[in-house]
A and B are shown apart, each in its own frame.
Chain A
Amino acid sequence: GEDVEQSLFLSVREGDSSVINCTYTDSSSTYLYWYKQEPGAGLQLLTYIFSNMDMKQDQRLTVLLNKKDKHLSLRIADTQTGDSAIYFCAERDQTGANNLFFGTGTRLTVIP
């Protein structure tokens, strides 16, 4: 299966920008996703991007995709304490199943 990698931890100060990084392995066209998981909660879909795009912006969230390096990032502008959570990068299977392959998740801690 696909291998999606993320760093485990990130700490930022409230009001700063957060950048969460992810690398993926599938070389074919695919969708890439960012999900947020708060303690004891399910996975909230934040945004997704098709691999022929370079960038997608949605309010405070910016997704950047470097296809050559298979690198995906999620930037959160003006990070708030409510943004503290685990963020998962996921890649959609392209063999027909359409299931998602998830990274390990990055735990974002926002320091007031």
Chain B
Amino acid sequence: DSGVTQTPKHLITATGQRVTLRCSPRSGDLSVYWYQQSLDQGLQFLIQYYNGEERAKGNILERFSAQQFPDLHSELNLSSLELGDSALYFCASSPPGLEAQYFGPGTRLLVL
């Protein structure tokens, strides 16, 4: 158990819908990262937040957005969902030293 929690574990929805994925980092970790794991793209970085502020963006679609709240939990919002958005979405957190990233169990999203 890494100490990073993600909810829900599984999500099934339809094309065109909007979903919210939630992540709670390890206690004391200020950085939260979101990654997407799909069969065709592998593991790709989406976005990073540090202490409530966006720090870096990766291959994140404009239909996707995220935020980190004052209690440091983060949410990833996916809208206008397409079949190709079906994937495993991971959240990771890292301590202030920023050396290691600890991953949550992931949210498996299936868009039908």
Contacts and interface: CB of A to CB of B under 8 A. Distances in A.
Interface in B69-112: 90, 92, 94, 98-106
A45 B43 contact: no
B42 A45 contact: no
A48 B95 CA distance: 15
Given A99-B56, A105-B42, A48 B99 contact: yes
Contact of A99 (B58, B100, B102): B58
Most A-side CB within 10 Å, residue of B31, B43, B55, B99: B43
Instruction: Please classify how large the interface on chain A is, using the bins under 10, 10 to 19, 20 to 34, 35 or more.
Output: 20 to 34
A101 B101 CA distance: 12
Q: For the complex, would chain B's binding face be called helix, strand, loop or mixed by DSSP majority?
A: strand
Contacts of B106: 42
A43 interface: yes
B53 to A, nearest CB: 13
Nearest to B50: A98
Contact of A41 (B48, B55, B56, B105): B105
B90 A98 contact: no
Interface string B1-38: 01000000000000000000000000000010101000
Interface of B: 2, 31, 33, 35, 42-45, 48, 55-56, 58, 90, 92, 94, 98-106
Give the top 3 A-B pairs by smallest Cβ distance, nearest first.
A97-B56, A102-B43, A43-B103
